[in-house]
Structure 1
Amino acid sequence: MFTFRRVAVKCLSKNIINQVTKNQTIVVINYARSSDLLVSNTHKPYVQFTAIRGYAKSKDKKKEKGRAKVQINENQLSELVNLDTLRTHFQRPIEILKEEFIKNLSLRTTIGSLENLTVSLDGKDYILQELGQIVRKNPTMTVVNMSVFPQAIPAAIKAIQKSGMNLNPQQDGTTLYIPVPKITTEHRENLAKNAKQLFIKCRDLIKDTQTKHIKGLKKKVNVSEDVIKQIEQQIIALADTYINEAQTIYNSK
């Protein structure tokens, strides 16, 4: 049975006036010029309308982020790529990042950080302990005796000042006195900035290795495009695991 309803409609000649509500089927037909019409199921002919509501997609619906997870098939990967070499090239920037964090990003300056500090002299690189004797006198003072290589003093001072350890060495003859500064907010911020730069450098080195191996892969002959694409995606996925490891090391700082 139909529900009877009085509907106010505009006077329109030869037009069908519809009033459709959600989940409701009604019978409406109007050929009259009267502004009022009692709608019922007794009018013939009649047209039946079924209200069907379409829902628009929410603008706030989040899209799936990132690409689908790629399964790394080492057997397949090894057929076209030297997997051991690839892993070694990916791992090397990680090891460098760890070393740099230990040497340059400690809140307290350590003897090890100074001993392994790189000093450029006459176009060659040395570590500071090769040029001088390093001794910690007390928790707030480190001394470097440069009497064996006094000509390296200016280069050593420059390297210490640019080490990122917030150090300001003072020279007395062939001896360098290095006060260990108190930890300040500015020093912490500088360490955080340096840590980010080191992470970005590590990430870029991994990406460079990824690009290099993919270019070499595409030069392979007698290999289908589908296989090349699969291996390429696996190389990218493998690189991402090392980048994630670098990210974890960076976040821990």
Structure 2
Amino acid sequence: MEDEIKFILDSTKEAMDNAVAHLEKQLMNIRAGKASPSMLGSVKVDYYGTPTPLSQVANVNTPDGMTISVQPWEKSMIPEIEKGIQMANLGFNPMNNGESVIINVPPLTEERRSELAKQAKAEAEEAKIGVRNDRKNANNDIKKLDISEDMKSNLEIDIQKMTDNHIAKIDQIFEKKEKEIMTV
């Protein structure tokens, strides 16, 4: 019985941690003013007929806060990289200098900043929903156990504390990202 309870609590904590980790990964893709290689994370390039992530055919770095430089490992890939960046519909206009692809990242407008903040908020809400679903599943698993009502009640309180901690963590992550996005 102890093992079952421990398993339910551990798997619930793991699922909630995964929701938080997923949120952090999603927020990395949301632009916050400065150029970063992760902005091109979703770009796929046609590499000899196979859609391949950009990071597997080129070096992506940021020489300064407003520029992304894509240095392909094969010069013949430059047109494909340009096409891949345009197809990803990120609002970037790639230019090539014969050696690499250069992207000037325009500064964000106030309107675009609030759109990105809304997008970040939606991601945070998704993560909270995931955590609440994990809580519900754990509570359902506890109800099925053959233990006293007091013990069930105590376990539900523990799960609620776990839920509150994870939701507070999600709020912190979102507030940090929102501040990052809204800072000019």
Relative to the length of structure 2, the TM-score reads 0.70
Q: Within 5 Å, which residues of 2 pair with 1:39-54?
A: none
Instruction: Say whether 1:202 aligns with 2:131.
Output: no
Q: Within 5 Å, which residues of 2 pair with 1:37-186?
A: 80-82=5-7, 83-111=9-37, 113-114=38-39, 117-119=41-43, 127-136=53-62, 138-146=64-72, 148=74, 150=77, 154-159=83-88, 161=90, 167-170=91-94, 172=96, 176-186=101-111
Secondary structure in 1 aligned to 2:124?
Answer: helix
State the distance in 1 between where 2:134 and 2:44 align: 28
The list of structure 1 runs, each at least 4 consecutive aligned residues, that deviate by more than 6 angstroms after superposition, is none
Instruction: Say whether 1:231 aligns with 2:147.
Output: no
Secondary structure in 2 aligned to 1:100?
Answer: helix
Quickly say closer, same or farther: Cα 1:214–1:190, change in 2 above 3 A. same
- Contact 1:140–1:179 (CA<8 Å) still a contact in 2? yes
Question: Over aligned residue pairs, what C-alpha RMSD do you find?
Answer: 3.4
- Contact 1:119–1:125 (CA<8 Å) still a contact in 2? no
State the distance in 2 between where 1:110 and 1:94 align: 22
Tell me which of 113, 121, 145 is aligned to 1:188: 113
Cα displacement string for residues 63-85 of structure 1 (whole angstroms, at most 9, x for unaligned residues): xxxxxxxxxxxxxx976242333
- Contact 2:45–2:52 (CA<8 Å) still a contact in 1? yes
State the distance in 2 between where 1:105 and 1:202 align: 19
- Contact 2:20–2:170 (CA<8 Å) still a contact in 1? yes
Which structure has more relative contact order (CA 8 Å, sep 6+)? It is: 2
- Contact 1:89–1:209 (CA<8 Å) still a contact in 2? yes
The answer to which structure has the higher helix fraction is 2
State the distance in 2 between where 1:135 and 1:240 align: 38
Quickly say closer, same or farther: Cα 1:155–1:218, change in 2 above 3 A. farther
- C-alpha displacement at 1:189, in angstroms? 0.8
Quickly say closer, same or farther: Cα 1:158–1:240, change in 2 above 3 A. farther
Q: Within 5 Å, which residues of 2 pair with 1:209-224?
A: 209-220=134-145, 222-224=146-148
Secondary structure in 2 aligned to 1:143?
Answer: strand
Instruction: Say whether 1:240 aligns with 2:164.
Output: yes
State the distance in 2 between where 1:125 and 1:226 align: 56
Secondary structure in 2 aligned to 1:109?
Answer: coil
State the distance in 2 between where 1:153 and 1:189 align: 28
Percent sequence identity is 19
- C-alpha displacement at 1:242, in angstroms? 0.5
- Contact 2:69–2:100 (CA<8 Å) still a contact in 1? yes
State the distance in 2 between where 1:241 and 1:188 align: 28
Cα displacement string for residues 19-53 of structure 1 (whole angstroms, at most 9, x for unaligned residues): xxxxxxxxxxxxxxxxxxxxxxxxxxxxxxxxxxx
Quickly say closer, same or farther: Cα 1:120–1:170, change in 2 above 3 A. closer
Relative to the length of structure 1, the TM-score reads 0.54
Q: Which amino acid aligns with 1:242?
A: H
Structure 2 residue runs of 5 or longer lacking an equivalent are 179-184
Q: Which amino acid aligns with 1:191?
A: L
